[in-house]
Amino acid sequence: MVGMNQNSYMDHENERMDLILFSDSRKKKKKIPFNSGKICFFMIKNLSISSSLIPDKQRGSVESQVFYLTNRVLRLTQHLQLHAKDYSSQRGLWKILGKRKQLLVYLYKRDKLRYDDLIGRLGIRGLKTR
């Protein structure tokens, strides 16, 4: 290569090979050793909130629905950090957030104590008040 140092050319080729190996390994489920100095992106599959927050007898309650939607929001947010141009997932995220907001508004109007308790346990931001 003209005007390019041979070592920098080889470093660039090695990085390219690492990326190819990484993309191939995701399809074939092989493990690649972690190379210090190189950035590897991965997705956390089991990112969720503990299900012990909702008792078994309340699986259809507003709290359990908000809990389930919050888990889905966390998983989709993690997915979108890796795949920023996945517009169908973005649309799904907005729909989930709208549904969760509707449920939180309903709970806020019905029982503010349960609403405050749920917001505190899940660690999500409350509704905007005017």
Q: What is the pLDDT of residues 43-74, one digit of tens each?
A: 444 444 556 666 666 778 999 999 999 999 99
Q: What element of type H or E holds 127?
A: none
Amino acid 37: pLDDT: 42
How far from 69 is each of 65, 93, 99, 122, CA to CA, in Å? 6, 10, 8, 11
Domain boundaries, the chain: 1-40, 51-122
CATH superfamily of 51-122: S15/NS1, RNA-binding (1.10.287.10)
